[in-house]
A and B are shown apart, each in its own frame.
Chain A
Amino acid sequence: MINVKKSTGDKIIDGFLYLILLGIVVITLYPFWTQVIISLDGGGADSAAYSSGIILLPTQFSFESYKLAFKFDALWLGYWNTILRTMLGVILSIFFTSITAYPLAKRDLPFNRTFTSFVLFTMLFAGGTIPSYLLIKELQLLNTIWSLVIPGMISAFNVLIMRNFFRSIPEELEDSARVDGAGYVRIFTQIVIPISKPVLATIALWVGVGHWNAWFDSLIYISDPNKQVLQIVLRKIIIQNSMADINSVIQNIGKTTEFSGRQLQATVVMFSIIPMLIVYPFIQKYFVKGVMVGAVKG
């Protein structure tokens, strides 16, 4: 802000501020830290997984539970299905959202208001869970990856954000191309898309994280265990605490004693959030940009 010499009072307040914010950081990270510790602890019956109270460090390091989880086929299958749906979902969403948003960005497109209202009304009213379920069933999409990818493919909110971004592109740019004889398709693919990378990347990230974390659609539309996404596998182990699943993993490996269900659960949690934790610091600022774009209405 401004360069004014800080008084002692200011410094004390600053100190408190740093302390409070540091406290918030610790509180936010601690729950994740407990999972790290429990998953890494190899202390057997004395391990953090059994000890009570506040855990700061493992009694002794061990990657045994990770080795165990590595051999858990359902986990890898879940990973694969999640990666597949995320890639497919992002590609389809970006493609269809952009070809929808571009025409709507043209203010004098005939029936623009009609089309826009048609899209936006879906933000206000929805048929609900049961009619959607019956529709997917009627279309024979149950137990296919399409039931996870298509229903949310063109989100009205993303159309709105992309449309506003396209509108912010100077018209002269397109006009000059038109003078040179370029049609809309050419302008769209060779001018508009390349300079819209920021908004495309932001929306791709939003859609991608949405798919990565999605579970409810898989819960209701997919009954084939080989097609379940990672989050559903996690749900079985973590939430439903399915001892059958946990025991089958442990038995598969031929180990019986050293592992508590909780340790395996923590490891499974780590398995799902490690990819997120690795990419998160790099992509975080793009998400924020997207929120800012979304907050400014055009």
Chain B
Amino acid sequence: MSSRRARSVEKKKKIKQYRVLLIMLIPAMIYYIIFHYLPMYGVLLAFKDFKITEGILGSPWAGLRHFEKIMNDTYFFTVLKNTIIISLYKLVFGFPVPIIFALLLSEISNVKFKKMVQTVSYLPHFISWVVLAGIFFTLFSLDGPINGIVKMFGGDPMLFLADDRYFRTILVVTSIFQGFGWGSIIYFAAISSIDPQLYEAAVLDGASRFKRMVYISIPMLAPVIAIMLILSMSGILDAGFDQIFNMYNVKVYNVSDIIDTYVYRKGLIEMNYSYATAVGLFKSVVALILIVIVNQTVKWIGGKEHAIW
């Protein structure tokens, strides 16, 4: 009893001591409640029949009707399939590129050249997808450079961006273009932290450059690679709204419409607020579950210090 009292007295003393700091936190707490927690409470919409005049609270309950509708919506499954396929493609083809790029560049000893290549490679990351999409429209247009190459090899020019056979490939390639340099930073950091003595010893043992890469660089990178891979799994339902929304068109909806673009059209264009919220909630819940699984896996593989919590 007395120890509990002592503790509470101490707590009070501490609160007094840290009073100013606690006051500093107030704006942030208000901000988070209003702009992050209120929208979370807004997912109630998914269980209501939203009437704009009644507000979220006043609208009648709909139970799970919107979720039943999702399950009966064949187009939703197309959208879900597209989301997973596009993001898996991006993962499979896009994930190794920054690693290979970092390994190749680490073999270069000319510092100036290295810096130049790095600087250029980060550049696309800083350009918005609105502008990048515009640039790709030019590149893939009927008389653009890509079709120029096609013609050079005797092919017929085609409308790549309106063709559902090529659209996903283009999404993947252009997203690699935009992200590989930026993504490689973490691997550069990992490579530069490898003890140079390891390489020196390997050279004395007569290991070739290739062998040094295979037996020193790659194994030393493995933990970082594993963690980056696992972390990217939690974003498997994020196929890249910014990119797709700016690049797609009606002709390729069947292969490129993803959950996020569907929510945008259903909700904000067709004003189907409740249904769109239900679709969005479905995505958020799956993402949350994935993050928890991923965090546990990272803890298990990489140790506690790499996990998010």
Q: Are B268 and A128 in contact (CB under 8 A)?
A: no
Given the known inter-chain contacts A122-B32, A153-B31, please indicate yes or no for A128 contacting B181, CB distance below 8 A.
Answer: no
Given the known inter-chain contacts A34-B145, A238-B133, A273-B127, please indicate yes or no for A129 contacting B280, CB distance below 8 A.
Answer: yes
Q: Are B128 and A32 in contact (CB under 8 A)?
A: no
Which segment, of A59-67, A100-108, A249-257, faces chain B? A100-108
- Of all chain A residues, which has the CB nearest B18? A109
Q: Is the interface of B mostly helix, strand, loop or mixed?
A: helix
- Of all chain B residues, which has the CB nearest A38? B138
Q: Are A51 and B143 in contact (CB under 8 A)?
A: yes
Give, as a whole number of angstroms, the nearest-CB distance from B19 to chain A.
9
Task: Give chain B residues whose Cβ lies under 8 Å from the Cβ of A234.
Answer: 130-131, 134
Alpha-carbon separation in the docked complex, A213 to B286 (Å): 29
Given the known inter-chain contacts A125-B288, A288-B185, please indicate yes or no for A134 contacting B143, CB distance below 8 A.
Answer: no
Interface residues on A, range: 35 or more
- Interface of B toward A, CB cutoff 8 Å: 11, 14-15, 18, 20-22, 24-25, 27-29, 31-32, 34-43, 45, 55-56, 101, 104-105, 107-109, 113, 116-117, 119-124, 126-128, 130-131, 133-139, 141-145, 147-149, 151-152, 157, 177, 181, 185-186, 189, 196, 199-200, 203, 209, 241-242, 245-246, 260, 263-264, 267-268, 273, 276-277, 280-281, 283-284, 287-288, 291, 305-306, 308-309
Cβ 8 A contact of B189, one of A127, A131, A272, A292: A292
A179 proximal to B (CB < 8 A): no
Alpha-carbon separation in the docked complex, A163 to B52 (Å): 41
Contact mask for chain A residues 186-226; partner B; CB cutoff 8 A; 1 contact, 0 none:
00100000000000000000000100111110001000000
Give me 14 other A-B pairs in contact (C-beta within 8 A), A122-B32, A130-B45 excluded: A18-B113, A27-B177, A53-B143, A54-B149, A126-B40, A128-B43, A128-B281, A129-B280, A130-B276, A131-B45, A131-B277, A153-B31, A238-B131, A272-B128
Task: Give chain B residues whose Cβ lies under 8 Å from the Cβ of A34.
Answer: 135, 138-139, 144-145
- Interface of A toward B, CB cutoff 8 Å: 1-2, 4, 10, 13-14, 17-18, 20-21, 24-25, 27-32, 34-35, 38, 50-55, 96, 99-100, 102-104, 106, 108-110, 115, 117-120, 122-135, 138-139, 150-151, 153-154, 159, 183-185, 188, 209, 212-216, 220, 231, 234-235, 238-239, 262, 265-266, 269, 272-273, 276, 280-281, 284, 287-288, 291-292, 295, 297
Alpha-carbon separation in the docked complex, A17 to B43 (Å): 52
Q: Are B28 and A96 in contact (CB under 8 A)?
A: yes
Task: Give chain A residues whose Cβ lies under 8 Å from the Cβ of B245.
Answer: 216
Task: Give chain A residues whose Cβ lies under 8 Å from the Cβ of B117.
Answer: 21, 24-25
Give, as a whole number of angstroms, the nearest-CB distance from A46 to chain B.
13
Alpha-carbon separation in the docked complex, A32 to B128 (Å): 13
Question: In the complex, which of the residues A96, A99, A117 has the most CB atoms of chain B within 10 Å of its own CB atom?
Answer: A99
Task: Give chain B residues whose Cβ lies under 8 Å from the Cβ of A31.
Answer: 135-136, 138-139, 177
Alpha-carbon separation in the docked complex, A2 to B280 (Å): 55
Task: Give chain A residues whose Cβ lies under 8 Å from the Cβ of B145.
Answer: 30, 34, 53-55
Task: Give chain B residues whose Cβ lies under 8 Å from the Cβ of A214.
Answer: 128
9 A-B residue pairs with Cβ-Cβ distance under 8 Å, sorted by A, are: A25-B117, A52-B142, A96-B27, A128-B39, A130-B45, A134-B273, A150-B31, A184-B24, A288-B122
